[in-house]
Structure 1
Amino acid sequence: MKLVLSTSNIMQGGRPSVLRQPLTQKSNVELINSLRLNFLASQHIESPPSNGADSNGTNPTITNGCPSWTLHRDDALYIPAIDFTQSGLAEERDQYDITVKLFYLPGIPASRRCAHTREAIDLVLKELHVESIDLLIVSFPGILFDADDDSDEEEYAGDRSGDADDFDSMVQTWRVLESLHEQGSIAQLGVAEFGCDRLARFLPHTKAQPSVDQINLKDCCVVPKSLILYAKQEHIQLLTHNDCNDILPVGTTRELLGPGEKGAGILASAPGATDGIQGDVEPQWVVKYTAVVKDRGVVENKGYFALADVGTCVKARS
């Protein structure tokens, strides 16, 4: 079974965030805190939204074994229930810049990325009621940019013997992104943590080359001059971020969805227990989306979706 986790719009709890303000909260902390707050808020609603029909106008069903604040549709359990009939944007589409970052998680086979990409983008489009996004940045697992390295290049945090296979999977994944770009769903594509060497290897394999390279500069390090020059030559914009590479580990997911004070009570408390879903939980991907009002430079809508697989079906709750 698929578990679709959502934060809803995390900007609703306060004033819009002006872009020039510094981002101090790392994405993994923001994700977990926002999910937990959304779960708690939804648990105060004893029944799902009365207008919880999906985009096709059909009414989703609620599985008897699941809490009333969740939603079971087809083979997915939405935690909490999502009402896609409500638009996530207050103004017309052309008033916004919409940026999406998709995190492919460590330990998940690259063969799943094609399906994962389409799932993640589809959820964002449905949530915001738009037909396209302006920029999609993809974060591949295991790649770490090190600005202090003497070679001015990125490192691969894994077995170097598997680096060639990983590169091939990145190219294959990019084909899916290019198809979405050709269909008009994505205006621009971007990558994260690519240095000069990886960019030089990667670009010849692309039809729609990345227009953005997003890198994490630790302790306010200076971007290597070689990367600045190469990016300028290839018309690639360099951006910085404060995201965590492994944004949703298995243990964190289990704690978030499990029993106890910090858990949502979705997963069973023990093998054989009937108080939740039985099986091992495996996070698959995380997507972050941000809608910025162009003329005011404020974030009106920001949120996350995450998908996890769990081994078996839902058990009846006592």
Structure 2
Amino acid sequence: MTRIVLSTGNVILSGPSIIRKPGTYRSNFEFTNSLRTNFIAAQQDYAAALPNGNGHASHQPNGNVNGYNSRPAPEVWTAKEEDTLYIPRIDWESAGLQEDRAQYEITAKLFFLPTAPAEKREIYINDALRLVTKELGISDVDLLIISFPGISFEGECEFEADRKNATMGNDDEEAATWGPLEKLQEQGKIGRLGVAEFGTEKLRRLINKVKVRPAVDQINIKNCCNVPPPLTKLAKNENIELLTHHDSTDILPSGTLRELLGQGSQGAGVLADNGLSGIKGEITPEWVVKYTAFVKDRGVIENKGYFAGAELAGEA
């Protein structure tokens, strides 16, 4: 089994090609498009540094893929470290923030994907947090928001959305996931904990099951007029901050990862496909983490990006 880690780098520096478009799936568009941008940049940069200019290029039947005649071999621009394959390889030496840690508000949002088993979530949490802190050169994040699969906040009105939300997800799995988060907070690695898409009943039930209640509840009210009054009241009574967002709850849809890594015109040419060489096996997306580093005194985002984790079962 091989672990796969995908990264976008700092999307703030990537130019207009990854700017989010209006619509329901803005975060999904930003994530997937910025991954493609980073793959292409890594292929060009690492191949150009080799003596022959493009490494052991893998010939593409259409002659022109991603803007040039051939892709470099995956081993040129990816990196294998023990059982983890980084796509693309990451220059950790150039990572880090420009100012002192105290100048930043660091927020991360971790999306657990429906294709991944709930019993491995502690591993996903540790992996995601390790990558974010290593990328930013820090030891902790100020806020970590957890987005569980199968939970949304949608309906004809806020009351319908709140009612439907109460039946979603799995209360026991969500409470079990909260334990490792509480331990990380006790260790000083997380300042505040938050959840996403928790309506009134979902939030009340979680509060009753955990030791450390969420400090933040992030709700997408794009299909509703307002936050439901019962949720507002509960949040106020429990001192929980309500925030709104526009992230997709389906940030890495089924089949998207294979398309991103495959041999097609929009793929990175990493997976074996269409008679071309590459890594083989079944690939299962597990989690995505979105992170931002906000400079408090200047009111700007200096660094923003994504990591994603997947499992490759079979030949690597």
TM-score by length of 2: 0.85
List aligned pairs for 1:38-187, cutoff 5 A.
Answer: 38-46=38-46, 66-146=74-154, 148-150=157-159, 153=162, 155=164, 166-187=170-191
Partner of 1:289: 291
Kindly indicate whether the alpha-carbon contact (under 8 Å) linking 2:79 and 2:87 is maintained by their aligned counterparts in 1: yes
Give, in angstroms, the shift of residue 152 of structure 1.
Answer: 5.7
Give, in angstroms, the shift of residue 249 of structure 1.
Answer: 1.9
Partner of 2:61: none
Cα distance in 2 for residues equivalent to 1:46 and 1:199: 47
Aligned-partner SS, 2:91:
coil
Q: Kindly provide the CA deviation profile for residues 128-184 of structure 1, in whole angstroms up to 9, marking residues without a partner as x.
A: 000000000000000111361535615359xx6x95xx2111011000100100000
Cα distance in 2 for residues equivalent to 1:170 and 1:49: 47
Aligned-partner SS, 2:192:
strand
Partner of 2:212: 208
Q: Kindly provide the CA deviation profile for residues 257-313 of structure 1, in whole angstroms up to 9, marking residues without a partner as x.
A: 00021000011015xx56101112110100000000001111100000001111223
Partner of 1:53: none
Aligned-partner SS, 1:46:
helix
Cα distance in 1 for residues equivalent to 2:202 and 2:294: 30
Instruction: Name the aligned partner's letter for residue 97 of structure 1.
Output: E
Q: Does 1:255 align with 2:278?
A: no
Q: Kindly provide the CA deviation profile for residues 183-225 of structure 1, in whole angstroms up to 9, marking residues without a partner as x.
A: 0000000000011111111102222110100000124621111
Instruction: Name the aligned partner's letter for residue 91 of structure 2.
Output: D
Unmatched tracts of structure 1, length 5 or more? 16-21, 51-63
Instruction: Name the aligned partner's letter for residue 233 of structure 2.
Output: L
Partner of 1:242: 246
Give, in angstroms, the shift of residue 3 of structure 1.
Answer: 1.3
Kindly indicate whether the alpha-carbon contact (under 8 Å) linking 1:132 and 1:184 is maintained by their aligned counterparts in 2: yes
Give the 3 Å change call, closer, same or farther, for CA 183–2 of structure 1 in structure 2: same
Cα distance in 2 for residues equivalent to 1:217 and 1:170: 22
Kindly indicate whether the alpha-carbon contact (under 8 Å) linking 1:23 and 1:242 is maintained by their aligned counterparts in 2: no
Cα distance in 1 for residues equivalent to 2:85 and 2:49: 15
Q: Kindly provide the CA deviation profile for residues 228-253 of structure 1, in whole angstroms up to 9, marking residues without a partner as x.
A: 11111110111111111121123111
Partner of 1:193: 197
Kindly indicate whether the alpha-carbon contact (under 8 Å) linking 2:154 and 2:224 is maintained by their aligned counterparts in 1: no
Aligned-partner SS, 1:170:
helix
Kindly indicate whether the alpha-carbon contact (under 8 Å) linking 1:250 and 1:282 is maintained by their aligned counterparts in 2: no
Alignment RMSD (CA, Å): 2.4
Cα distance in 2 for residues equivalent to 1:126 and 1:41: 21
Cα distance in 2 for residues equivalent to 1:101 and 1:23: 20
Give, in angstroms, the shift of residue 45 of structure 1.
Answer: 2.0
Instruction: Name the aligned partner's letter for residue 238 of structure 1.
Output: L
TM-score by length of 1: 0.84
Give, in angstroms, the shift of residue 107 of structure 1.
Answer: 2.8
2:229 to 215, 222, 225: 225
Aligned-partner SS, 1:91:
coil
Percent identity over paired residues: 49
Cα distance in 2 for residues equivalent to 1:287 and 1:154: 28
Kindly indicate whether the alpha-carbon contact (under 8 Å) linking 2:154 and 2:223 is maintained by their aligned counterparts in 1: no
Kindly indicate whether the alpha-carbon contact (under 8 Å) linking 1:154 and 1:193 is maintained by their aligned counterparts in 2: no
1:277 to 246, 258, 279: 279
1:299 to 288, 296, 301: 301
Unmatched tracts of structure 2, length 5 or more? 51-71
Instruction: Name the aligned partner's letter for residue 200 of structure 1.
Output: R
Partner of 2:30: 30
Q: Kindly provide the CA deviation profile for residues 11-32 of structure 1, in whole angstroms up to 9, marking residues without a partner as x.
A: 01359xxxxxx98771100000
Cα distance in 2 for residues equivalent to 1:142 and 1:152: 14
Of Structure 1 and Structure 2, the greater helix share is in 2
Count of aligned residue pairs for this structure pair: 288
Partner of 2:10: 9
Kindly indicate whether the alpha-carbon contact (under 8 Å) linking 2:96 and 2:138 is maintained by their aligned counterparts in 1: no
Give, in angstroms, the shift of residue 88 of structure 1.
Answer: 2.8
Aligned-partner SS, 2:94:
coil
